[in-house]
């Protein structure tokens, strides 16, 4: 089984896929109300332990954290915090699931899944719509204004990471046979 993670300082999405690529679990961990960095890590660790107890995870795929500044996006402080949380959660996965996580850039994962982002459109929104349209059973709750509720884009991103990981694992299996 594959675990896909979209790690963030505010909401972390996770998806578990079986050997056929079907979703066994797809949810998010809301960390927005928690101010303590260490408490955020503790909350994620606790959920990872529950996943470990319920599923036989063989491979973990993590969305690679941002590596550079982009105008209008995260500040240096946010990038630093994201790198710290990404590293610690990766280490937790290494210890819990007995292997190094593999990292995928969001753009590479979307490409592997066949998601094309039209110029000028927001990748997260296009990716979410692709998952809604193409993944049976992926349901989204909306606000009264018609926007996806917090966490659903993170779930979608974790699914894309998990699915891309599943595609990579399937290709590697075919190459060895």
| Residue 16: strand pairing partners | 3, 25
Report pLDDT for 83.
Answer: 84
**pLDDT tier, 74 (very low <50, low <70, confident <90, very high otherwise):** low
Phi-psi region of 100 (alpha: psi -120 to 50; beta: other; left: phi over 0): beta
Report the DSSP pairing between strands 2-6 and 11-17.
Answer: antiparallel
Query: How many residues appear in the chain?
Result: 177
Structure tokens of 152?
Answer: 């659903």
Q: What is the pLDDT of residues 79-138, one digit of tens each?
A: 777 888 899 999 999 999 988 999 999 999 999 999 999 999 998 899 999 999 999 888
**pLDDT tier, 140 (very low <50, low <70, confident <90, very high otherwise):** very high
Domains of the chain: 2-176 (3.30.420.10)
pLDDT at 65 exceeding the cut of 80: no
Report pLDDT for 177.
Answer: 56
């Amino acid at each position: 089984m594959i675990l896909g993670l979209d790690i963030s300082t505010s909401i972390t999405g996770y998806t578990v896929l079986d050997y056929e690529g079907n979703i066994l679990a797809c949810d998010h961990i809301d960390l927005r109300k928690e101010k303590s960095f260490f408490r955020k890590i503790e909350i994620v660790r606790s959920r990872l332990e529950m996943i470990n107890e319920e599923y036989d995870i063989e491979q973990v795929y993590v969305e690679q954290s941002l590596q550079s500044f982009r105008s209008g996006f995260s500040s240096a402080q946010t990038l630093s915090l994201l790198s710290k949380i990404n590293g610690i959660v990766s280490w937790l996965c290494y210890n819990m699931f007995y292997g190094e996580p593999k990292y995928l850039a969001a753009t590479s994962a979307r490409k592997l899944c066949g998601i094309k982002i039209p110029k000028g459109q927001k990748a997260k929104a296009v990716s979410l719509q692709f998952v809604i349209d193409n993944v049976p059973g992926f349901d989204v709750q909306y606000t009264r204004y018609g926007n996806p509720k917090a966490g659903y884009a993170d779930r979608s991103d974790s699914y894309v990471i998990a699915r891309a990981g599943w595609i990579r694992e399937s290709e590697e299996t075919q190459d060895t046979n």
